[in-house]
Amino acid sequence: MARVSVIHRKRRTTWEKIHSLETFGTVDGPGVRFVVFFQGCPMRCQYCHNPDTWKIEDGEEMTADEIIDRFERNRSFYQTGGITATGGEPMLQLDFLTELFTKAKEKGIHTCLDTSGIMFPKKHTGTDQNSEREISLTGISENMASDRMEKIEQLMSVTDLVMLDIKHINDEEHQKLTGQPNSNILAFAKYLDSIGKPVWIRHVVVPGITFDEKELMELGLFLKTLRNVEKLEVLPYHSMGKVKYDNLGMDYVLKDTPQLTKAEAKEAEHIIRAAMEQ
């Protein structure tokens, strides 16, 4: 997979930060994808294989027009694909992400958002418009969250597909695994269902953490309540990202955790799907 570095230039804001671009992505949505890795993430997932995307100040600055121009140079590659925004957490830079997807849709480009959903501001289920709860996010002022719901609605109007990464269905265990609660994430899943937005669910299965029958069944039962799930991807935990932690001088918490086998991944998927079909 080819990645290219981005051009550094002065901008008016620090919120338009990109880590890198991948010009031939095959696992980030339908078809061949032009993948934009956004810089910055409020979560600290123990198995994250891109810890170099966490700090937003470490990213390079790039405009939406520059990204679209890079895509257009090889557009013939992406006839069955499009642009995928991932990270990091792309919804951390909500205005820039919406601008990028708006420009993409103007050119008839399929847009896919790969997100944890952590930036969703409300306990919103599609019926309860008044229940609201803000969360403390690393490096984000709560004052910035007041109009986030409206901006998310704008983003969804130019998003064709959401790939939602549900890290753990149990809130307490989710906080241990990522440093953040999961209530906003599950609320985001319900919101996407309420607007009929197509969703692919991704779930990383980690031995001793999420490779647990009770957890997997609870996840399946939750997914059963959603009518918009088009695909379930069970991703087996691997330790290939450890080298990045070593290079960054960071401790890799899961260094003694074994990788999930293919048989275990199939077992985990079977448990989830069985619960979804109950």
Domains of the chain in start order, with CATH, are 3-276 (3.20.20.70)
CB distance 13 to 62 below 8 Å:
no
* Residue range 137-165, pLDDT digits in tens: 444 444 455 588 999 999 999 999 999 99
Among 137-141, 208-212, 247-251, 262-266, whose mean pLDDT is lowest?
137-141
Q: Is the pTM of this model over 0.95?
A: no
Directed axis angle between helix 148-156 and helix 94-106, to 10°?
20
Q: Is the confidence at residue 173, as pLDDT, over 80?
A: yes
Q: Mind giving me the DSSP string for 115-173?
A: E--TT--B---SS-SS-B----BTTB-GGGGTTHHHHHHHHHTT-SEEEEE---SSHHH
* Confidence grade of residue 115 (pLDDT, cut at 50, 70, 90): very high
Average pLDDT value for residue range 195-207: 98
Q: Which residue has the higher pLDDT, 6 or 46?
A: 46
What Cα–Cα distance (Å) separates residue 273 from each residue in 42, 91, 233, 268? Answer: 30, 29, 11, 9
Residues in CB range of 69: below 8 A, 6 or more apart? none
Average pLDDT value for residue range 34-45: 96
Q: Is the confidence at residue 181, as pLDDT, over 70?
A: yes
The percentage of the chain sitting over the pLDDT mark of 90, rounded to a whole number, equals 77
